[in-house]
Structure 1
């Protein structure tokens, strides 16, 4: 049996005036709803994302888009996963993103994307981020 990898995390929006926040949420919803579903997605798909839509419990000022999925040894194709995730980030409004990768053989890793200006808009040409990764644990015997 192949090893399982778990990927989960969140993409966080930034506070702003209420009209602006609603516009960003609607734009992000449209992008996420356009992702492939079912068996049509090899790495990033609509089914793995969720978010609170209505202001109140779970949604105060900054919307949090959370995601998670399990894969068969995704660490061997991690660069392709990151490439697709960054392509998605280019299309969204966000301030920061964090991805946790838990693997049976290579331990846990945390990847963080933070916009240099405090926010990213899909109208920008570049994905201006600082990306850092952390590693915990490893093969335990």
Structure 2
């Protein structure tokens, strides 16, 4: 079993693209991975604190790999080819990584703004507490903002 490695110039080209797209290079890390095509050791570039990665690989002397995220799914593949083709796949990956990292998690937002119904007692008809009032106003403003931006 041999280990596939990238040239220093290739890694530097990736670093330049990372900086060009406005990423902080310290959020990336090179680790040892296993290529999905070759099933041999190969470099893997990860985005720290996420499951996102670009796994480099080599199939019969051609660059290839797998990565996450993609435009339509969690994982994609770059078909074998020359370095220029592989670098296009890296750019594609970085653009979609940028989109995913910038996208808010709307499902988490829903959970954060959910009012716990167990705190309400149907037999009591007291005015809202200040905290309840703030939650209601915030929720109404969120709905207004959503309607304004989607009409």
| TM-score bucket of the superposed structures, by smaller chain | 0.3 to 0.5
Report which of the two has the higher share of helix: 2
In the superposition, the TM-score normalised over structure 2's length comes to: 0.31
Larger Rg: 2
In the superposition, the TM-score normalised over structure 1's length comes to: 0.33
Larger RCO (CA within 8 A; separation ≥ 6): 1
Report which of the two has the higher share of strand: 1
